A and B are shown apart, each in its own frame.
Chain A
Amino acid sequence: MSLAGATGVLDEAQGGPLAKAASSRRRKLRLLPYALLAPSLLFLVLFTYLPIVRVLIESLLDKPHGTGAATAFVGLGNYARVFADPAFRQAALNNLVYAVGVLVPTLALALAFALAVQRSTRFSAVLRTVFFFPSLVPLVAAASLFFFIFLPGVGLLDYYLAKLGVHGPNWLGNSDIALWSVIGLTVWKNAGYYMVFYIAGLQNVPRDTVEAAMIDGANGWQRLRFVILPALAPTTAFVTVIALIQLLTSVDHVIVLTRGGPSNATNLILYYIFQAAHENFEYGKAAAATLISVAVLLALSFGSLRVMERGARGNG
């Protein structure tokens, strides 16, 4: 029973001279939930719902910056311009490569780390800390560290590669390699974070099933492939979704390390939006690109919700 119900019942039970006061109090209690939600709703409307309406309208307008020209309605013109922009196409393609290129090794490492450190020994505890730690530092700080790691010649990577007799490429300056360097940084930064979810997920893998498989003579790989991985499917689905949302909405390292370069090789969609709005003042384009990425985010989330629901049903 809800609290409002509880006090309402009490007031009625008292009845008599208190009835009038009770009814006014009940009306107040009826409005109470909305009053409690009001502060949150105000900010949700201001910074989640209004912006979508706003960006929808702005994406249909052309507001030339600084020229004094009048705002014009251009229909889907901005979308056409965005899709025709080679920089946007490159950014979209990069974002896809970046998302897959980060996701696959990150999940594999996260699972491997989780399997390696799940036992509660002191050694495991130290390893857990080491693997988790990068996810705690700002992406900007990670970028600053990797700025030095990737430095040509004297940087950490080249310094030690030289000791092995290997001459490293220009990690951030070569347009064929730069995106993979950024991917490497992101894998390092995120793997430990998702490891934590796999550790939690592993605790829910039924021990009996694993033992039964062992008695049936399944080797380590078979146990992983046929028992543990299927049991971890909900964790994997969940981690995939939060990882993809994260990979679409964080570009701090790109801003610090490469500014989307060389020649757009590390441009990502959010960086494209940032650049269009913040550096080139092309608001129509930025608005259209924002709406495109919002659509991708929503499709991703709703699609994954359905997949996860099915997964949950499948698991009983």
Chain B
Amino acid sequence: MARRRLKKHLPGVLPRALLAALLSAVAFLWATPFLWTLVASFRTESAGSAGMASLLPDFAPTLENFRNALDSGSFGLYYVNTIIVVIGLLAVQCVTVSLAGYAFARLRFVGRDVLFYAFLLQLMLVPPALIVPNLRTIVDLGLYDTLPGVMAPYFASAFGTFLMRQTFLALPRDFEEAAAIDGAPWWAIVWYVLLPMAKPGLIAFAIVSVTAHWNEFLWPLMVISDPKNQTLTIGLAAFTRGAEGGKEWGVLAAGTLLVMAPLAVAFVAFQRRFVDSFVFSGVKG
């Protein structure tokens, strides 16, 4: 009896262990670029370039690379510019998508379906495809080489509008009907009744928006020319090109880490929320 059970279980245990080993190996491979970044960014420059690729931390950790990265790349300024872009954009988007989402979820009006499709089209004609004409528009508006110029094409968000529409649709109407009977104007209903209940939708939108624009590169590269207005990704790209000649791999690793760190920390802290937001963004977007 026991033997039979063993026989029955043994084939299951062995493949499972093999599978776990294989998965661990793949995961290690997947994480290698980040492991190297961590190791290399704390390694001294004197280690020379021959051993830079080693993943083993065989040294006394130093912050020298981070100091050099902050000095040579004005990363502090890039941080400020990136935060201005990301937060400013999110603030405007929250207003536009809440209003539009409310209109599509709760109001009946002529042309609603047509307008809805007009929004839908933005999901396909993503702004990166239209960089050339959009840059001309930005120049015409006098926004060239300004941070608002980086933000403007994203002020209206089809994805955000749909997300807020779905969120509002899922809310019960009792509260707003009660508020309407009490004579509350529409804006009070949106602000005091609906938005507090729609917070999960807004947070999901915020996560997707902040991640997308923190990481954005091509559009800011086109709009910005003054180094004072550059964002983190532009600074990092220039930095990478510079490292080509200088062989300062440790500094490059430190710079890359500085760019990735804020989102990485937020992700580790709020993992569930991040993943859910991205699934939602994909499913609805």
Residues in chain A within 8 A of chain B (CB atoms): 1-7, 10, 29-30, 32-34, 36-37, 39-44, 46-52, 54-55, 58, 116, 123, 126-149, 154-156, 158-160, 188, 192-193, 196-197, 200, 238-239, 242, 245, 248-252, 255-256, 270, 273-274, 277-278, 283, 286-287, 290, 293-294, 297-298, 300-301
Which 8 residue pairs across A and B have the least CB separation, nearest first? A159-B53, A51-B133, A43-B156, A138-B215, A33-B109, A47-B153, A301-B124, A36-B103
Q: Is B181 positioned at the interface, with any CB of A under 8 Å from its CB?
A: yes
Would you call B132 and A277 a contact (CB within 8 A)? Answer: yes
Query: What total of chain B residues lie within 8 Å of the partner, measured CB to CB?
Result: 99
Would you call B27 and A131 a contact (CB within 8 A)? Answer: yes
Would you call A159 and B54 a contact (CB within 8 A)? Answer: yes
CB distance from B167 to the nearest CB of A (A): 16
Would you call B30 and A188 a contact (CB within 8 A)? Answer: yes
Residues in chain B within 8 A of chain A (CB atoms): 19-20, 23, 27, 30-34, 36-37, 40, 49-50, 52-54, 95-97, 99-100, 102-103, 106-109, 112, 115, 118-119, 121-137, 152-153, 155-158, 161, 173, 176-177, 180-181, 186, 189, 211, 214-218, 221-222, 232-233, 236-237, 239-241, 243-244, 249, 252-253, 255-256, 259-260, 263-264, 267-268, 271, 274-275, 278-279, 282-283, 285
Would you call B271 and A129 a contact (CB within 8 A)? Answer: yes
> What total of A-B pairs shows CB separation below 8 Å?
271
Q: Chain A residues near B222 (CB, 8 Å)?
A: 274, 278
> A47-B153, A196-B279, A200-B279 known; A137 and B125 CB under 8 Å?
no
Would you call B130 and A40 a contact (CB within 8 A)? Answer: no
> A47-B137, A252-B217 known; A33 and B283 CB under 8 Å?
no
Q: Chain A residues near B221 (CB, 8 Å)?
A: 255
Would you call A298 and B279 a contact (CB within 8 A)? Answer: no
Cα separation A286 to B99 with both chains bound (whole Å)? 36
Would you call A3 and B176 a contact (CB within 8 A)? Answer: yes
Would you call B129 and A294 a contact (CB within 8 A)? Answer: yes
Interchain residue pairs with CB less than 8 A apart (7): A6-B177, A40-B156, A48-B125, A154-B49, A188-B30, A197-B279, A238-B282
Would you call B133 and A54 a contact (CB within 8 A)? Answer: yes
Q: Among A7, A155, A248, A287, which residue has the most Cβ atoms of chain B within 10 A?
A: A7
Would you call B137 and A40 a contact (CB within 8 A)? Answer: no
Q: Which DSSP category, helix, strand, loop or mixed, fits chain A's interface? A: helix
Would you call A148 and B249 a contact (CB within 8 A)? Answer: yes
Would you call B249 and A10 a contact (CB within 8 A)? Answer: no
When C-beta atoms are compared, the residue in chain B nearest to A158 turns out to be: B53
Would you call A123 and B20 a contact (CB within 8 A)? Answer: yes
Would you call A196 and B27 a contact (CB within 8 A)? Answer: no
Would you call B156 and A136 a contact (CB within 8 A)? Answer: no
Would you call B279 and A139 a contact (CB within 8 A)? Answer: no
Would you call A52 and B100 a contact (CB within 8 A)? Answer: no
Cα separation A147 to B245 with both chains bound (whole Å)? 13
Q: Among B103, B176, B216, which residue has the most Cβ atoms of chain A within 10 A?
A: B103
Would you call B279 and A34 a contact (CB within 8 A)? Answer: no
Would you call A36 and B133 a contact (CB within 8 A)? Answer: no
> A40-B97, A43-B96 known; A50 and B180 CB under 8 Å?
no
> A39-B96, A41-B118, A137-B264 known; A144 and B133 CB under 8 Å?
no
Q: Chain B residues near A51 (CB, 8 Å)?
A: 130, 133-134, 137
> A41-B118, A141-B236 known; A283 and B108 CB under 8 Å?
no
When C-beta atoms are compared, the residue in chain A nearest to B50 turns out to be: A154
